[in-house]
Amino acid sequence: MSANQDLATLIRAGTPLLVIESTEEKRVVEGFRHAIAQALRPLYRWSITAGLERLDMQADADEAAGAPDATLTLHAIKAAREPGIYLLLDFQPYLRYPMTLRLLREIVQRDASAEHTLVLVGAAIELPDELATAATRFEFALPDAEALAALVREEAFAYSRGHDGRRVVVDAEAARAVVRNLRGLTLEDARRIVRKLIHDDGALSAADLPELARAKAALLDRDGLLHFEYETAQFAGVGGLARLKQWIAQRRPAFLGQKLPIRLDPPKGVLLLGVQGCGKSLAAKAIAGGFGVPLLRLDIGTLYNKYHGETERNLRAALKNAELLAPCVLWIDEIEKALATAEADEGVSRRVLGYLLTWLAERSAPVFLVATANDVQALPAELLRKGRFDEAFFIDLPDAATRAEIFGLHLARRALAAADYDLAALAAASAGFSGAEIEQVVVAALYAAAADGQRRPTQAQLAAAIAGTRPLSVMMAEQVEALRAWARGRTVAAD
Ligand SMILES: Nc1ncnc2c1ncn2[C@@H]1O[C@H](COP(=O)(O)OP(=O)(O)OP(=O)(O)O)[C@@H](O)[C@H]1O
Ligand SMILES: [Mg+2]
């Protein structure tokens, strides 16, 4: 069923209030023109600049447009005897006034009013409770794969027409991937991106895919809630966490939807809990790297602060956008901050949690959720219940072998040959250090070397840097111990 038929059905069914969140007014109006061709009802559009206008027929010259005033318009609609469809553009600000709200309710409840269909159209529409229950949200379907493939062909032709018939070099496999990745964009946005990808180098190849992912993420994330993380990591750069690495490797084919001999449930997500600085954030990045998909970070602080009162709508939009960027990893850092079960927030955090968990169970696209948390006490029990996440991993302080590995990794990252150092001795001297602290030791030793006019730190300089560090696990021994005790039995060790 196409979107237009859906719409016609909704209108025929006498839906009193439709809500359409869209900035593409033209498309919305066109959609209604098509729909009413079947529903045979008068169609009106109201905006503050033009007032009320009839759209489904040539208005008589003397049938002047109605007043732009919102209240007068609602009075007129209420009094109109013939049931009509009224598109109210950018009506959101008027929902604050008791008079408009009351009139809207009366029309919607058909208190002495014909069976009108009111349609609120705007970028972001939050309804007060008394209207929300009566409202039906509707979305226009975005272009499908066929339309997008046609668009890619058109743009390739257009390029060669503009370049003396020079053909665009198209890698068929890459072109299919481009079309797949354009899903979720409007036709105009998709066209702009494809044009740029082709014009860059007269070709469409696998090399265009990262740029496409970036452009798409930027377009979808106008609210700044979803950050496209340019830097993913590779597991090769992460010390330890053997079990987590293996877990991800085993699930990669199923996550990417590859053909498998037996049907496996695609993985949904993991919760990473652990001691500060031991690599939770790093692991989230490496999971995206391990799956070979983009990493999106959901900024939960912004979700709560910047759009006070619109938290749920924004979460809904962000999760939908993440699905449009699938396959991808969605990372929620410090999830406990968002879900603190404060009574003061009028139940918002509980609803956010509920929404998140429902989405996790029902999401329709391969989006792998990685949630990280430090403060486990603040985590609501629902989050840890079996079956929510596929697994909860605990990332503990690294053991001696892993510390040696992490020293090796951070030395190598700074072009220092690990073989020149006694890593076992460094590991032995740094018991209780986190990965972050080990990295700081390497950095500090490099400074000490530079102060001596050397390029490479000596073993003794590294040892001195270790001796000069008071690791967090010592300063906060009780908290770390409590965290470990809590994790035992509730989580699986990542290493
Ligand atoms: N296992 C590890 N292997 C390699 N490097 C590590 C490891 N753990 C931590 N590091 C280094 O420490 C840095 C900080 O770690 P990261 O930010 O991932 O820790 P975190 O657990 O997210 O800490 P926080 O609780 O403070 O958010 C990493 O960028 C990395 O350079
Ligand atoms: Mg972190």
Domains of the chain: which residue ranges?
3-137, 145-220, 235-395, 400-475
- State the pLDDT confidence band at 61, using cuts at 50, 70 and 90: very low
Query: Do the bridges between strand 51-54 and strand 43-47 make them parallel or antiparallel, or are there none, so unpaired?
Result: antiparallel
Ligand 1, pocket residues at CB < 6 Å: 238-240, 274, 276-282, 374, 406, 409, 435-436, 439
Q: Which atom from ligand 1 is nearest to the alpha carbon of 238?
A: 3
Q: What is the mean pLDDT of residues 98-116?
A: 92
Distance 370 CA to ligand 2 centre (A): 12
Q: Which atom from ligand 1 is nearest to the alpha carbon of 334?
A: 27
Q: At 480, list the tokens.
A: 């770390």
The SS3 call for residue 125 is: coil
Distance 284 CA to ligand 2 centre (A): 9
Distance 345 CA to ligand 2 centre (A): 25
What lies within 8 Å, CB to CB, of 285 at 6+ separation is 229, 231, 232, 233, 295, 331
Q: How far is CA 116 from the centre of its chain?
A: 36
Q: Which ligand has its closest atom nearest to the C-alpha of 436? A: 1
Please report the beta strands in 63-215, taking only residues with DSSP state E, as ranges in sequence order: 85-89, 117-122, 135-137, 169-170, 203-204
Query: Do the bridges between strand 226-229 and strand 169-170 make them parallel or antiparallel, or are there none, so unpaired?
Result: unpaired
Topology match between the domains 3-137 and 400-475: no
pLDDT averaged over the chain?
Answer: 87
Q: At 425, list the tokens.
A: 């001795």
Q: What is the mean pLDDT of residues 237-266?
A: 91
CATH class of 400-475: mainly alpha
CATH class of 3-137: alpha beta
The SS3 call for residue 402 is: helix
What pLDDT is stored for residue 28 in this prediction? Answer: 87
- Any long-range contacts for 337-344 (C-beta under 8 Å, 24+ apart)? 337/300, 337/301, 337/378, 338/300, 338/303, 338/304, 339/378, 339/379, 339/380, 339/383, 340/378, 341/378, 341/380
pTM summary value: 0.68
- Any long-range contacts for 24-30 (C-beta under 8 Å, 24+ apart)? 24/140, 24/186, 25/89, 25/121, 27/140, 27/186, 28/87, 28/121, 28/140, 29/55, 29/87
Query: Cα(22)–Cα(2) distance, rounded to whole angstroms?
Result: 18
What pLDDT is stored for residue 48 in this prediction? Answer: 92
Q: Which of 386-390, 456-460, 477-481 is predicted with the least confidence, judged by mean pLDDT? A: 386-390
The CA-atom distances, in angstroms, between 119 and each of 186, 247, 378 are: 21, 48, 42
Judge contact between 209 and 178, C-beta under 8 A.
Answer: yes
Q: How far is CA 384 from the centre of its chain?
A: 22
Q: Other CB atoms closer than 10 Å to residue 79's CB: what's the count? A: 10
Pocket test for ligand 1, best of 272, 281, 396 (most atoms within 8 A of CB): 281
Distance 276 CA to ligand 2 centre (A): 7
Task: Tell me the CB-side half-sphere exposure of residue 402, using CA atoms within 13 A.
Answer: 22
Query: Cα(207)–Cα(185) distance, rounded to whole angstroms?
Result: 20
What pLDDT is stored for residue 52 in this prediction? Answer: 92
- State the pLDDT confidence band at 465, using cuts at 50, 70 and 90: very high
CATH class of 235-395: alpha beta
- State the pLDDT confidence band at 59, using cuts at 50, 70 and 90: low
Pocket test for ligand 1, best of 282, 287, 397 (most atoms within 8 A of CB): 282
Most confident segment among 274-283, 289-298, 369-378: 274-283
Q: Which atom from ligand 1 is nearest to the alpha carbon of 409?
A: 4
Q: Which atom from ligand 1 is nearest to the alpha carbon of 333?
A: 27
Identify the residue with better confidence: 228 or 100: 100
Residue 176 is which amino acid? Answer: R
| pLDDT higher than threshold 60 for residue 60 | no
- State the pLDDT confidence band at 62, using cuts at 50, 70 and 90: very low
Please report the beta strands in 58-153, taking only residues with DSSP state E, as ranges in sequence order: 85-89, 117-122, 135-137
What pLDDT is stored for residue 446 in this prediction? Answer: 97
Q: Which ligand has its closest atom nearest to the C-alpha of 435? A: 1
Q: At 98, list the tokens.
A: 């008791």
Q: Which of 231-245, 251-265, 305-319 is predicted with the least confidence, judged by mean pLDDT? A: 305-319
Identify the residue with better confidence: 317 or 19: 19
Give the torsion through C-alpha atoms of 423, 428, 434, 437, to 10 deg.
Answer: -70
Distance 297 CA to ligand 2 centre (A): 12
Q: Which ligand has its closest atom nearest to the C-alpha of 277? A: 1
The SS3 call for residue 466 is: helix
- State the pLDDT confidence band at 246, using cuts at 50, 70 and 90: very high
